[in-house]
Amino acid sequence: MKIYKYLQNTIQEKGAAYLILLDPDKLSEEKLIPFVKHCENSGVDGFLIGGSLMVNNNMDSFIEMVKTSSSLPAIIFPGSVNQVSSFADAILFLSVVSGRNAEHLIGKHVLAAPIIKKTGIEPISTGYILVESGSTTTAVYMSGSLPIPRNKPEIAASTALAAEYLGMKLIYLEAGSGADNPVPNEMVKAVSQLVSIPVIVGGGLRNPNTAREKVENGASIIVTGNFFENEDNWDMIKEFASAIHIKQGLLV
Ligand code: 1GP
């Protein structure tokens, strides 16, 4: 099954999908396999793999290891063109629509498109919206663009709608990895009410209740990364999964 379809089905069935971001720079090879297995057993629906800045370029071997340890989809979340890998199932073909930096709107895409074609992996066109979240995040800095002010939900909503009209399949509301504050509920709500494509929310989510609030306000996919870099938090993956899978909770 195509990954976009898989995500749509998961959202339909569980109310929302839960993806965990794996950053090859931050997760050692010894921890990767037990972590990935633990995620799968805890109800996670898939992995995003990548990062805004990657120092070790070991995408191929890292993704291969993820795929051999789990049956969940591995979706590249690229910070640069050299993060494309044929070992993945799909790639978020991100365009930073909150910014006005042509390189991140279309420039890098021209370089990446023929490489993606060659690998045969599924590109999923995604309107990537950076949201102001406190101190400057790596994603904002690396994109060379201004994030949307967090108290301006109407700008985020209009941006998301424009992305949908341009044919994008997903909207990603991004506070940035390790953000001081997650994307505000009002913004998640304004965006989700206006667009008809799934809305991903990520960045700075550190507890299941906050994740749940994002889903209650219309988020279809939740991403966490940073929080599980500390092994002591691994036990909470299950709690995140059940908070996010809002429909499954209703069935119990
Ligand atoms: C970052 O949205 C993701 O791109 C996840 O953010 O690492 O803060 O969970 P965190």
> Along the 252 residues of the chain, how does pLDDT read in single tens digits?
699 999 999 999 999 999 999 999 889 889 999 999 999 999 999 999 998 777 777 899 999 999 999 999 999 999 999 999 999 999 999 999 999 999 999 999 999 999 999 999 999 999 999 999 999 999 999 999 999 999 999 999 999 999 999 999 999 999 999 999 999 999 999 999 999 999 999 999 999 999 999 999 999 999 999 999 999 999 999 999 999 999 986 544
pLDDT at 191 (0 to 100) = 99
Interval between CA 226 and ligand 1 midpoint (Å):
6
CA 214, 217, 219, 225: dihedral to nearest 10 degrees? -10
Q: How far does the chain reach from its first CA to its final CA, in angstroms?
A: 28
Mutate to test the pocket of ligand 1, among 128, 177, 188 (most ligand atoms within 8 A of CB): 177
Give residue 71's identity as a one-letter amino acid code. Answer: S
Burial (CB count <10 Å: 0-12, 13-18, 19+), residue 166: exposed
> Which residues contact ligand 1 via a Cβ below 6 A?
21, 174, 177-179, 202-205, 223-227
Coil/strand/helix, residue 127: strand
114 half-sphere exposure, CB direction, 13 A CA radius: 3
Mutate to test the pocket of ligand 1, among 44, 143, 226 (most ligand atoms within 8 A of CB): 226
Print the domain residue range for 54: 3-251
What six digits make up the tokens of 245?
Answer: 């899978």
The domain tally of the chain equals 1
pLDDT at 249 (0 to 100) = 67
What is the CATH classification number for the domain harbouring 8? 3.20.20.390
Interval between CA 13 and ligand 1 midpoint (Å):
24
Rounded distance, CA 151 to CA 186, Å?
9
Helix axes 153-165, 185-194, angle to 10 degrees: 30
